[in-house]
């Protein structure tokens, strides 16, 4: 189970479409686990075109995760943040199963970490 404060949900601005929809997770402990944060409902319909990871503290091993919408993976393959990443690095991933990736109001998002360490700290944001 995730430690308290191991997630974040950010509601984007009004409207729909790319750039207006944001769903984010804050990872304060990158240990492997399924559904490590809350189940987050999409605040409105729109689309996603990228996943941005901002590293706060690397964990000494690759951080590998997937994000699910309604329990189905949204990426072609799990996202890998390399162990060589440094604090302050911004990495962008676009390997969604469909681009742009469609989102409907109240779609449920969750994040699963399949590899990592407790030292990993980062923000994972879908835009």
Chain CA centroid to CA 25, Å? 6
- Whether residue 53 lies inside any domain: the answer is yes
Tokens (6 digits) for 60: 């000494």
Cβ-based neighbour number of residue 21 at 10 Å: 23
- Range of the structural domain that residue 90 is part of: 23-126
Please report, rounded to a whole number, the percentage of residues in the chain having pLDDT higher than 90: 79
Query: Does residue 113 sit within a domain?
Result: yes
Q: For residue 121, is it within any domain? A: yes
Give the separation between CA 27 and CA 5, rounded to whole angstroms: 8
**CA–CA separation, 28 and 95 (whole Å):** 24
- The pTM for the full model equals 0.83
pLDDT over 70 at 16, yes or no: no
Domain count, the chain: 1
The tokens describing 27, both together, are 């990872």
4 occurs within a structural domain = no
List, for residues 58-101, the tens digit of each pLDDT value.
Answer: 999 999 999 999 999 999 999 999 999 999 999 999 999 999 99
Decide if 110 is inside a domain: yes
Question: Is residue 3, in this structure, part of any structural domain at all?
Answer: no
**Alpha-carbon distance 108 to 15, whole Å?**
19
The answer as to whether 45 is a domain residue is: yes
What's the CATH number where 40 sits?
2.60.120
């Amino acid at each position: 189970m995730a430690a308290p404060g191991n997630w974040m949900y950010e509601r984007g601005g009004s409207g729909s479409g790319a750039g207006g929809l944001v769903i984010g997770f804050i990872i304060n402990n990158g240990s492997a686990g399924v559904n490590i944060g809350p189940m987050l409902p999409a605040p409105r319909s729109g689309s996603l075109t990228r996943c941005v990871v901002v590293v706060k503290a690397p964990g000494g091993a690759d951080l590998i995760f997937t994000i699910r919408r309604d329990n189905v993976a949204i990426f072609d393959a799990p996202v890998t943040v390399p162990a060589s990443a440094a604090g302050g690095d911004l990495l962008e991933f676009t390997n969604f199963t469909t681009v742009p990736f469609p989102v409907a109001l109240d779609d449920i998002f969750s994040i699963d970490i399949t590899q990592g360490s407790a030292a990993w700290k980062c923000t994972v944001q879908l835009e």
